């Protein structure tokens, strides 16, 4: 593996880790309705486990309501069950073939819990980024030991990997700060 490949792979993995964390942030409930809150929920239907977005249309007609319209009316009950089993703390209201999810305002205590959850997700993301860094630096060391690159090139590549690490950790921190601010806004 060439040095450029190692650096490219490290950047790609760090970018994916960052995207995963941002996706996780979008599932943390704020006081505002968002299809992302429920789109990832797994629904037991048709003999398999499917994402909610694959079996229903999810809309937000206003800031405090999510409306779920299953494409098949027989999925209303499995969708209700998936919502109730999730840790969202939202009670679904069944209205014929439509499921309404009223989003209650968050209490101060719940906001603090969610901020802690966001911080934990951010730390997991930073750990993943550092794991990507360690892997890349091990690959660079291996290249240097095999004589494919010089010590100067290794040192330069290590600095480049550290720059990437710092960049992606900063991106995660900015996203976490923004999500915390969104959670604390009443």
pLDDT digits (tens, 9 = 90+) for 99-121: 998 887 778 887 888 888 899 99
- Whether residue 91 has pLDDT greater than 90: no
Same domain (yes/no): 67, 81: yes
> In the structure, what pLDDT confidence band is assigned to residue 128 with cuts at 50, 70 and 90?
very high
- Whether residue 175 has pLDDT greater than 90: yes
pTM of the model: 0.70
Same domain (yes/no): 67, 119: no
Same domain (yes/no): 74, 95: yes
Same domain (yes/no): 65, 112: no
For residue 40, is it within any domain? yes
Same domain (yes/no): 147, 161: yes
For residue 160, is it within any domain? yes
Tell me which of 79, 102, 125 is where a domain ends: 102
pLDDT digits (tens, 9 = 90+) for 43-66: 888 888 888 888 899 998 888 889
Same domain (yes/no): 147, 167: yes
pLDDT of amino acid 1: 72
Cα 59 from Cα 61, distance rounded (Å): 6
For residue 31, is it within any domain? no
pLDDT of amino acid 186: 62
Same domain (yes/no): 146, 112: yes
- Judged by DSSP in three states, 60 sits in strand
Cα 133 from Cα 145, distance rounded (Å): 18
> In the structure, what pLDDT confidence band is assigned to residue 130 with cuts at 50, 70 and 90?
very high
- Whether residue 33 has pLDDT greater than 70: yes
The domain of 42 spans 36-102
Tell me which of 68, 102, 136 is where a domain ends: 102
Cα 100 from Cα 77, distance rounded (Å): 13
* CA nearest neighbour of 1 among 156, 136, 155: 136
Same domain (yes/no): 59, 86: yes
Tell me which of 76, 102, 128 is where a domain ends: 102
- Whether residue 164 has pLDDT greater than 90: yes
Q: What percent of the chain has pLDDT over 70?
A: 97
Total domains in the chain come to 2
For residue 11, is it within any domain? yes
């Amino acid at each position: 593996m060439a040095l450029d490949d190692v650096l490219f792979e490290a950047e790609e993995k760090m970018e994916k880790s960052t995207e995963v964390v941002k996706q996780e942030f979008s599932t943390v409930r704020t006081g505002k309705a968002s299809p992302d809150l429920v789109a990832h929920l797994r629904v037991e239907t048709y003999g398999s486990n499917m994402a909610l977005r694959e079996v229903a249309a999810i809309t937000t007609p206003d800031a405090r309501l999510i409306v779920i319209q299953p494409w098949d009316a027989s999925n209303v009950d499995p969708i209700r069950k998936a919502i109730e089993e999730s840790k969202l703390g939202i009670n679904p209201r069944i209205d014929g073939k439509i499921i309404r999810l009223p989003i209650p305002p968050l209490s101060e205590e719940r906001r603090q819990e969610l901020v802690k959850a966001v911080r934990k997700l951010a730390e997991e993301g930073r750990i993943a980024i550092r794991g990507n860094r360690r892997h890349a630096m091990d690959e660079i060391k291996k290249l240097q030991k095999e004589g494919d690159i010089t010590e100067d090139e290794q040192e330069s590549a290590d600095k480049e990997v550290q720059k990437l690490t710092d960049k992606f950790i900063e991106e995660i921190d900015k996203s976490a700060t923004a999500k915390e601010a969104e959670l604390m806004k009443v």
